[in-house]
Structure 1
Amino acid sequence: MTPTKPNKVMSLYKKVTAYPFGKQIFSKMVSRMAPYFGTVHPYISDLRVNRCECLIKKRKKVQNHIGTVHVIAICNGLEMAMGTMAEASIPAHLRWIPKGMSVDYTAKAGSDILCVAEVKPEQWQVGDMLVDVKAYDTNGVVVVQGHIKLWISEKPQK
């Protein structure tokens, strides 16, 4: 089920990214709505209905003791990608809340990291929904993969 018209988040993304530095501005706006995301200085590089890509630059603040991007920073980026995708994609009569995250560390994260969250349109149904999340290094190698479980429910009648 795909929304027939863009919701507020998707409309805001399209409006803001039409301007120079629009993606940086939009990324900062999302980080202000959920301040913890700002700790990894995420950059939303692409947002479409049912898909979001969020870049985390490898810098000292997000590295672990061996000099790779810390998996918790990556999980933070994956959660930001998922949340932004969900807000931009969910049908108007539904709402979501996260229930859990399950990830596997599949390779060292020794470069900038692209966090991707994606669902299929038919997944937007009441009940548990698994959002596929993957983090890629600059060579396209998957360094973290898993799912974020959401609870999807009907919005209450007003």
Structure 2
Amino acid sequence: MSDNYLLKLYQRTARLPKGKVLFSRLFARQAPYFGTVRPLVEELRPDYCRVTFKKRKAVQNHIGTVHVIAICNALEAAMGAMAEASIPKHLRWIPKGMDVRYTAKADSDISAVAEVEAGAWENGPDVPVAVTARRADGTPVVEGTIHLWVTEKPPRS
């Protein structure tokens, strides 16, 4: 088992009945806007996270597809869980930008993935996180990069 607090919590709760739902709700409470898409953390491991969310009225746009801002919200949730579960203890992160391309209509439930290359956390202040959202048939609907600013944690006083 990992020594990372978020991975430990995920690994413990995922073994329980409805454990991923419990973990996902706890995680979404840390950044309340994640709750708007009701993300379910399906898989979390170092350098990778996959969340899913249901297509429902609250996340649809005027043409009945999933709104791209809801998708970006899920991508940011996946990135946040992945970053928090992966970053070395002496570093901290903050998002500094997101570049995305809309590649297809999002007409179903959505799966959002965030991942980085192994060792990416030690490569300097800018860590690019690859993000992809797919509809139920596997077609990518949004692809892009979330850029993170990574710095040393200040010394504790």
Q: Shorter-chain TM-score: which interval?
A: over 0.9
Among 135, 148, 151, the residue aligned to 1:153: 151
Q: Normalized against structure 2, the TM-score is what?
A: 0.96
Look up the match of 1:140.
138
Partner of 1:54 in structure 2?
51
1:86 to 2:91 alignment = no
Aligned residue for 2:35, secondary structure, equals helix
Q: Which runs of 4+ in 1 moved over 4 A?
A: none
Q: Deviations over 1:86-121 (max 9, x none)?
A: 001111111100101010000000000000000012
Q: Give the RMSD, CA atoms, in angstroms.
A: 1.1
Supply the distance in 1 between the matched residues of 2:78 and 2:109 (Cα, whole angstroms).
15
**CA deviations over 1:44-86 (Å, ceiling 9, x no partner):** 1111111000101000100001110000000000000000000
Structure 1 stretches lacking a partner, 5+ long: none
Aligned residues: 155
Superposed counterparts of 1:93-108, under 5 Å:
93-108=90-105
SS state at 2:143 partner? strand
**Aligned-pair identity (%):** 57
Q: Partner residue of 2:121?
A: 124
More deviation, 119-128/57-66: 119-128
- Structure 2 gaps of 5+ residues are none
**8 Å CA contact retained: 2:2, 2:8:** no
